[in-house]
Structure 1
């Protein structure tokens, strides 16, 4: 558990032409604390003549020479702490000791391994505060907010080398867990309503709904704590502009609104842009991603919706879905002060009137069976999601399947339906775009690389 190491013949001058090695070892679960009481080894640049090397697992922790603490290669009285339970001291001298230097003496003792509290990623905390952090002790992690769920390993053990390692054997820095937002959950409220000609949603019922209040008026859907989905035509011409989006409310004039500003607006590369005042003739690839400039403060009234699953059948899986927005709700009202929603069903493209505009496989149409429920002007960019609000369950979170894109000017017309961007066609683009534009906090920093360089020198006689 402790001991002393000295150069040969200490405190007399050490001999010339030496190669001495000491192997120090303490019990597993301890580290070696090495302190020099005296060091007097012939000085030379890079300790090329005589030297004492401290080595751990073939890595040189220090190479020392010199006569006093002002020498750049003298350890003074600083303590060296080994990474593990073993250390090697290698004392090498050349074939002369002209000034009769005395060598060294050092003491060592075992110090219990303590991994310490690791630097935790954003939004993560210990499940038990003030946890023990010594050898073989364990820590567990959790997300600091109920609106997030832990992704990755949440349990780590302190190993003999002072590393927190996961159950799979990876170091903490190599296997960092993350807190990802819980998607597709709202507050458990139910009420009937419509978008065009409908009633108001309740607070927390559609917490992913965002609103761009000024021109162009439109909607978006929060899909993470930084990103939102909208229609490309809503943000066309605003890529270099900071847009303000509102969320966490059902009344666009309320005081407790959360305001989010954009950092990036990324329009799908195959969408035909026309600018702010251009007239769009094709709504193919009408999808865009919005990255907010700061993490969105998630809560009961502001949280993301889940992305859809891919399906070879109908986009809405023969289910009724919900469309929501702050757009027009009657023939005379082009925008709503309150968030409205209604239930629609999918129709085959042959059943939908396109008014001569191009219809592609990147779109689908949806509406109701003559009840006047429809998306309308001002709802563009907003969500169409499954299931309907009355069908909510923990086993079936809400998933956005469509983005309000375009339709005939007559909202709620019995013969015409609205067209929606088919999100399932863009899942790879969405995920790749988000990954390629991640925030600094999402990136795992690379640890420092240590390079050992062998230096040669010529003795002067």
Structure 2
């Protein structure tokens, strides 16, 4: 089998896929009539370095205009070079002449239509591989000398030139020059004689790290071939240093002085096949590598200089509004050194905008802000009219990353409840009193006990003040709020009950009500609204208020002259009495102290079930609207309708304030619950 293939190859009939030196191609059924609807093609391939010579010995194909019906096409690539049809006799004027095609690949495509009435017999053609003369001047494959041989060619060079890697270009080997002296000169090959063509010359300058290479040129030492447009597409000189590229340069105008910024510089000179220019000379020297005037964006260097060079030391700070951040640390400044590569040390540090983060939220309030960076403004406000902002409302993001006021205070304002507002215009009575309307005393709460009831006063959105004796045996009371009709009120739960530390709880038959005051912390804050908001506490700056004979109001759901308990909140206006006078009419077994107030008489008084409720007085300093403050807490009495005793709230303001602050500070890390809504408004 191998011998047969070898024999066929010598005849030009190579195996499938291999280039052939010659061959014959005939139409289907040749020399008989070719069939109708025939479609057939032949791919011709000859070896590299050859073209295809094609000639016919027979051509008999049905004629038609532009060979529409039957035809034989000669195709090179995707283009049809020639189409043949008609009946031609060998040697006649119309018979195709032998033709050479400068290609190694060709396709012959034959097609017949549905009819062949005159019995056309097709074609017979022969092809052979013909040598191509690559050196005939049309191809120009070599830069200097071209040498042809059958099936190929090779290039050669004149003396002093070498054939380059592309095997077609001749050039001078002018690369590999290394310059390490502090200063010197570099020139093109043979300068000032014309430089060689088709060359690529590479030079390298390497100085000590920390010093940059300075390149200078002179007009008389620069002459590189260039087209009129100055594009340097013929010959060019290019400088490369530290990722930067200078050039390419050409023509007769030398480049300006070049500060490369690097101690390593590569010089590349490329020439083409033409030109007669003398070339160039470069003068190089060294200079300490400069560092930029800032270490990074928004930095400030001290001391300030026009130029910083290798080994200079500076202190780096940030512009106003920026700070140096290293990990999680903020640095006021750091020391940096100009390094040999022209950069400052500690490049990982940056000046970042001071960011105060989002302003802290307020309980019962909110804050408006757009930015959180240095100089940004945040404005606090309370959510509803039932709170008032205590403290500054405007804060600014400061350089130390804190939100502060214009007075440099970082403590947040507070939304404190609007207190003591009442729509009460004229009073009447409790024991001997009258029903209170909604909005008169919206802070009064009903304390529902296991065996009794009591009263209390809301002094914030989460705290109720009442009498200690009401809670002595009732540590978990239910508080009813939001309506003068307690049956329509909303039940809220207590979280903590705190009796005054000096209240004596271990008493069987009580005659000493000194320090009869307690606080109840509600389980959830209350959403203040028109049906519920707190009463004011006394003003510390007015210890003598209320005055003797000043009239105040007492309110509660306790016993009246007609009923043991009342469904609706009752109130009465009673005068404050002189405590010394009340001491004289109270049995000697009862203790009366300066922590107590005495009021009532003439059939108007608080009574059973009113304990813990408020004894309220009008704030005479506030003229904007009528406001009541809590002067006393219903504590004890000898007989309903006569004089009653009240805990004097003025004496316990510090304890109230301190106790609430300690409890709430201890709960700062707790997830706050949503405020409980009490009021229901008509739709």
Q: Which of 355, 358, 363 is the aligned partner of 2:587?
A: 355
The match for 1:168 is: 407
Q: TM-score, normalised by structure 2?
A: 0.47
User: In the alignment, is the contact (CA less than 8 A) between 1:405 and 1:420 conserved in 2?
Assistant: yes
Alignment pair present for 1:273 and 2:273: no
Larger mean CA deviation between 203-212 and 138-147 belongs to 138-147
User: Aligned-pair distance for 1:210?
Assistant: 0.9
Distance in 1 (CA, whole Å) between partners of 2:349 and 2:656 is: 57
1:373 aligns with 2:608: no
CA distance in 2, matches of 1:8, 1:107: 20
Partner of 1:407: 637
Partner in structure 2 of residue 195 of structure 1: 430
| Counterpart check, 1:299 vs 2:533 | no
The higher-RCO structure (CA 8 Å, 6+ apart) is: 1
Residue 573 of structure 2: SS of its match in structure 1?
Answer: strand
Quick check: 1:321–1:385 contact (8 Å CA) kept in 2? yes
How many Å separate the matches in 2 of 1:443 and 1:179? 19
Match of 2:362?
A: 121
Alignment of 1:250-269 (within 5 A): 250-254=484-488, 257-269=489-501
Is the aligned partner of 1:148 residue 2:384? no
> Does the CA-based 8 Å contact 2:427-2:553 persist in structure 1?
no
> How many Å separate the matches in 1 of 2:581 and 2:495?
40
Partners in 1 of 2:595 and 2:329 — Cα distance? 61
Aligned counterpart, 2:479: 245
Q: Deviations over 1:193-247 (max 9, x none)?
A: 3111322111121011011133331001111122111111100023xx3221111
Which structure features the higher share of strand residues?
A: 2
Quote the Cα distance in structure 2 between the aligned partners of 1:151 and 1:438. 18
What SS does the corresponding residue of 2:439 show, helix, strand or coil?
Answer: coil
Is 1:185 equivalent to 2:421 in the alignment?
Answer: yes
Aligned residues: 362
Q: Please state if 1:383 is matched with 2:624.
A: no
1:209 maps onto 2:444 in alignment? yes
CA distance in 1, matches of 2:406, 2:667: 25
| Rounded Cα–Cα distance in structure 1 between residues aligned with 2:648 and 2:388 | 28
Gaps of 5+ in 1: 1-6, 14-19, 31-53, 63-79, 94-102, 445-461
Distance 1:87 1:154, change over 3 A: same
Q: 1:164 to 1:212 in 2, by over 3 A?
A: closer
Distance 1:309 1:168, change over 3 A: closer
**1:91-130 map, 5 Å:** 117-126=358-367, 129=368
Change (3 A) 1:135 1:340: same
Alpha-carbon distance in structure 2 between the residues aligned to 1:116 and 1:388? 42
SS at match of 2:654: helix
Distance 1:224 1:139 in 2: 26
CA 1:443/1:305 → structure 2, altered by over 3 Å: closer, same or farther? farther
Corresponding residue number in structure 2 for 1:308: 538
Task: Give the C-alpha shift of residue 355 in structure 1.
Answer: 3.0
Give the Cα separation in 1 of the matches to 2:430 and 2:614.
12
Q: C-alpha deviations, 1:70-108, integer Å up to 9, x for none?
A: xxxxxxxxxx89969x87575899xxxxxxxxx999699
Which residue in the other structure is 2:553 paired with?
Answer: 322
State how far apart, in whole Å, the 2-side matches of 1:269 and 1:108 are: 57
TM-score normalised to structure 1 length: 0.67
Change (3 A) 1:365 1:81: closer
Q: Pick one of 385, 388, 397 that aligns with 1:158.
A: 397
Partner residue of 1:24?
295
Relative to 1, partners in 2 of residues 1:305 and 1:8: Cα closer, same or farther, differing over 3 Å? farther
Report the RMSD for the aligned CA atoms in angstroms. 4.1
What is the 5 A alignment of 1:417-428? 417-428=643-654
Residue 156 of structure 1 aligns to a residue whose secondary structure is strand
Partners of 1:386 and 1:401 within 8 A in 2:
yes
**CA-CA distance at 1:265 after TM superposition:** 1.4
- Residue 373 of structure 1: how far off its partner (Å): 1.5
Corresponding position of 1:74 = none
1:437 corresponds, among 641, 646, 663, to: 663
Q: What residue ranges of structure 2 are gaps of 5+ in the alignment? A: 1-208, 212-241, 244-261, 264-290, 301-315, 671-683
Q: Distance in 1 between matches of 2:529 and 2:445?
A: 14
- Paired position in structure 2 for 1:77: none
- Sort the Cα spacing of 1:235 and 1:316 in 2 relative to 1 into closer, same or farther, 3 A: farther
Residue 553 of structure 2: SS of its match in structure 1? strand
d(CA) in 2 for partners of 1:253, 1:138: 48
8 Å CA contact 1:212–1:219 kept in 2: the answer is: yes
Against the structure 1 CA distance between its residues 169 and 211, is the aligned structure 2 distance closer, same or farther, given a 3 Å change threshold? same
Change (3 A) 1:443 1:323: farther
Q: Which of residues 229, 234, 238 is equivalent to 2:465? A: 229
| CA offsets 1:361-398 (integer angstroms, 9 cap, x no match) | 21121014x2x221011000000010299x98536631
Superposed counterparts of 1:28-107, under 5 Å: 61-62=325-326, 90=336
